[in-house]
Each structure stands twice: as structure tokens, then as C-alpha cells.
């Protein structure tokens, strides 16, 4: 029984908004702690993967850390890119530059 998208063992969460900087960590705790079990409700061993490893970083930080891996590795890693329609930063042109990186 395979529960992971395309058999992937991990999933990347890539927000492009400073206000979401803890989203990846939150989802790690929520998903991996809740579902990352080796036994079922009856205490019997589970013989299939229960949850992928969840990881990620703010978009710009991640671009300089692991995006080459996502683009060029032969490992399949589903990636959720999350952008904001409106800026929460009052710096002129900041959101437009950030979104151009997001779409690239």
C-alpha cells in the first residue's frame, strides 16, 4: 500500500512570504508527529510508509540552499510553492521582486 504522491519519501513546503516563515516547521510538527507512526490503533506494526518527511524554507533562503537539488536530482520531491497576493512589507518594489522569483 503506497500512500505517498509518486512514491516520494519527502515533501517540500516553500513559502514566499516572511509572515509564513514558520509554516514548514508547523507542518512538520502537525503532520509528522501526528501521522508518523509505526503501529496502528491496535498496536500492530504498520508495514507501509505513513507520512513523508516534510521540509522547507522561505523561498529566497531555499533558493540558495536546496533548489538545485529540487531541479536536478533524480529524486522525486513534491514541492508546494506558496505565494501571497498582497505584500505585508511596506518596501516599494519588494513584493514584485519576490513574486518574480516565486514564478521563476
The question of whether 94 is a catalytic residue gets the answer no
Rounded Cα distance, 102 and 31, in Å: 25
The question of whether 96 is a catalytic residue gets the answer no
User: 59-86: per-residue pLDDT in tens?
Assistant: 888 888 888 899 898 888 999 999 988 8
The domain locations on the chain are: 5-103
Identified catalytic residue from 2, 21, 31, 33? 33
- Band (pLDDT 50/70/90 cuts) for residue 2 is very low
- pTM of the full structure: 0.81
Collapse the DSSP code of 66 into the 3-class scheme (helix H, G, I; strand E, B; otherwise coil) and give the result.
coil
Identify whether the C-beta of residue 55 lies closer than 8 Å to the C-beta of residue 28.
Answer: yes
Identified catalytic residue from 2, 44, 64, 96? 64
What pLDDT, on the 0 to 100 scale, is given for residue 1?
Answer: 41
Architecture of domain 5-103: 3-Layer(aba) Sandwich (3.40)
Amino acid at each position: 500500500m503506497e500512500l505517498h504522491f509518486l512514491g516520494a519519501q519527502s515533501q517540500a513546503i516553500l513559502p514566499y512570504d516572511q509572515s509564513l516563515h514558520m509554516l514548514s516547521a508547523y507542518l512538520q510538527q502537525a503532520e509528522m508527529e501526528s501521522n508518523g507512526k509505526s503501529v496502528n490503533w491496535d498496536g500492530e506494526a504498520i508495514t507501509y510508509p505513513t507520512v513523508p518527511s516534510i521540509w522547507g524554507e522561505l523561498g529566497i533562503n531555499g533558493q540558495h540552499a536546496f533548489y538545485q537539488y529540487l531541479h536536478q536530482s533524480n529524486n522525486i520531491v513534491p514541492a508546494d510553492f506558496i505565494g501571497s497576493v498582497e505584500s505585508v512589507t511596506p518596501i516599494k518594489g519588494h513584493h514584485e521582486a519576490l513574486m518574480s522569483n516565486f514564478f521563476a
